[in-house]
A = this chain, B = another copy of it.
Amino acid sequence: MALIVQKFGGTSVANLERIRNVAKRVARTREQGNEVVVVVSAMAGETDRLLALAKEVSPRPSQREVDVLLATGEQVTSSLLAMALQDMGFPAVSLLGHQVRIFTDSNYSTARIQSIDGSRLERELKEGKIVVVAGFQGIDQEGNITTLGRGGSDLTAVAIAAALGADLCEIYTDVEGVFTTDPNICPEARKIPKISYEEMLEMASLGAKVLQTRSVEFAMKYNVPIHVRSSFSEEDGTMVVAEDQSMERVVVTGVTYKTDEGKITIKKVPDTPGVAARIFGPLAEANIVVDMIVQNVSEDGFTDLTFTVPKGDMTRAVEIVEKVGKELGAKGVAWDPDIAKVSIVGVGMRTHSGVASKMFAALASEGINIQMISTSEIKISCVIEAKYKELAVRVLHKAFGLGEEAVQEA
């Protein structure tokens, strides 16, 4: 007997028929002798419907009240799923954030989980019940309702699995698992059977959309094994687990891309101490997240600084940088929203050399120019012209033999 946490996203509970299907799957897991905690999202479309109501009442509704409003979405699903399970003869009970006692900070709409009191959950499980938890929501120390932001229900599931010391956290979604790259761009993309937390973290933050980075961080911190799989199929998906020896055979695990950033260059600033701080300080104060930063080799005491920011912040960022640039006597500011960042990720890079040069060569073979490079221990990212995005992904996928390995491992 194992304790399993199962999370079902919005598309998996989009209507009553799907909720009944979810109930069947949960029931099967229970019948196999497991204890089950289910975490549910709002029915697909419900969150948007509620947000539209809020926007119609007030153009800038208070986040506290938006959270109260949105939390009803998961509440509805949790009660309906509990009813569906009961209708099939299984004892079930729904619990909300304040009932599980999922305590968060008071940052409405992006609250962080601080603690989970597992006692009510454990009591219900001990009584033989399937517990259905409304995802995405918690309470702060004063009992105000908070929500956890994008991917919040995944985080609820992982955090509950950690709190209960569950054997497994299954994340049911509308794709079959984590893929070597986006199958819409690269038909050779294959499902990755097993991936380490670190790789998953990099993949998620570099563009893979299956799991949110916060959930993966949480799982890594508490060593919760995650199984990402489809709610519309019986096949195994992708196991996200701690790094082990068997993983090191693969050098590169996946190829990702992102097109939501733009590039800003500030030309010929004095290459003296404190210059970077004078540029990036005001950006930080304006809450603009700077991602990659590249500084060219100094020439005659001057240098070019290039960095990327979210496209939505481009205009504001350029304004700020132009002002600072004038003060610094820079030669000018250039910007380009038309870029893509392609990345390769793999823990194998730690022990293999020549990965970077192989990546650069592959891109060069198709005449793709590299504008910026950023590396970490287990990933390499290159900024390229946006129009080469698909081509770059395909050529990298092939260069690192990601399609072929599917055959080897199958």
Contact = CB atoms under 8 A, between A and B. Distances in A.
Interface of A: 16, 19-20, 50, 53-54, 56-59, 61-62, 64-66, 68-69, 71-72, 75-76, 78-80, 82-84, 86-87, 93-94, 96, 98-99, 120, 143-145
A231 to B, nearest CB: 18
A254 B120 CA distance: 52
A57 B83 contact: yes
Contacts of A94: 65, 68
Nearest 3 A/B pairs, CB to CB: A58-B87, A72-B72, A68-B79
B144 A99 contact: yes
Given A64-B93, A65-B86, A69-B76, 10 more contacts: A16-B53, A20-B57, A57-B84, A62-B86, A66-B83, A68-B78, A69-B75, A69-B79, A71-B75, A98-B98
A16 B82 contact: no
Given A86-B58, A87-B58, A98-B143, A53 B80 contact: yes
A20 B53 CA distance: 12
Contacts of A20: 57
A75 B68 contact: yes
A83 B62 contact: yes
A53 B57 CA distance: 26
Contact of A83 (B65, B75, B93): B65
Contacts of A56: 16
